[in-house]
Structure 1
Amino acid sequence: MPGLRDLLSRFRAAGAPGAPGAAGMPVDLRTGVTAELEPVFAALAATTAECERRRAAGATEADLRVDEARRRAAAMISQAEGAAQAARATEAARVHELARTALVAVEGESRAAAEEIARRAADRLPGLVREVVETVRRDIAALENEDGARTGAIP
């Protein structure tokens, strides 16, 4: 592994101001960097492989959890729909029973009212018949008086 001085020498200016120095070859930085980083990447290869394995395992587990969540959600929805249908049926039966009870009450009230009307009619009928008979007799008597007056007969 290169020392600190070797690392810092890479950042040295290419040419210093002032008098020209000795001629030389430029340093091949790529070769030095590759040689320097090769052991680091080699050491990271196992970690990179472990990260990839964990990522794949995590993706698989996430897919399994999503599938399980979908199954549970479908079961919950099915259960809720069944409960809602049962609640609707129970409520419909309750409303039907209330309507039947109300109908029975209305029928009872109607029967009682009809019986009261029939009783009143029965109570009034003899008086009304008497009144009609008297009216008819008066009308007949009036017609007879009128006929007698026209014909000159004395009643």
Structure 2
Amino acid sequence: MSLNRAVAALGAVAVVGALTVGFSVAHANSVGKPVPKVYVTSGSTWVPISNTCYNDGKVLTSKQLAACVAKVQKIGAADTATPVKVHPNTTFTIGVDKQITDKGWSASGTGALVAQTTKYQANNLPLSGVFATNTDQSTGATTTADKGTVLIVERKSATSNDIYGVWMATLKTVS
């Protein structure tokens, strides 16, 4: 190959490379920030949970927050939150991406499950914090539900009304 042909080939590779990089940068800028994920793990089951409400890392507006509450209620009523299979009498773990730990997060089930934290994980969470227990008033017998919902909320403090994102999962027992 002559020197001129080698230079022309190299130039063509540089042009194609520059176009590819230029397109990739333009595409990445148009896509926005990556949406952080939440993960729920029980035993060997690891499930990524997509956001229920998220505003590209910014505080949800009051209108978005109202829509989020309605969406959470609708998902809860329809039982369509991301399912996570758990075995009875075990624990589970919630893990979050770094973007969430930067601000902080908390989780709730039938009550407070994880207090406001900036840690990446909350381990050994009891299913009793998610599954409701009912007592029959006439017999005194108790029954525990076989599923329950977990809400993970990203915000700067436990008392803050500034919510950045909400993730929702349903834990369901399997035999």
Q: Shorter-chain TM-score category?
A: under 0.3
Instruction: Report which of the two structures shows the higher radius of gyration computed on alpha carbons.
Output: 1
Q: Which has the higher strand share?
A: 2
| Structure possessing the higher relative contact order (Cα contacts under 8 Å, 6 or more residues apart) | 2
Structure (1/2) with the larger helix percentage? 1
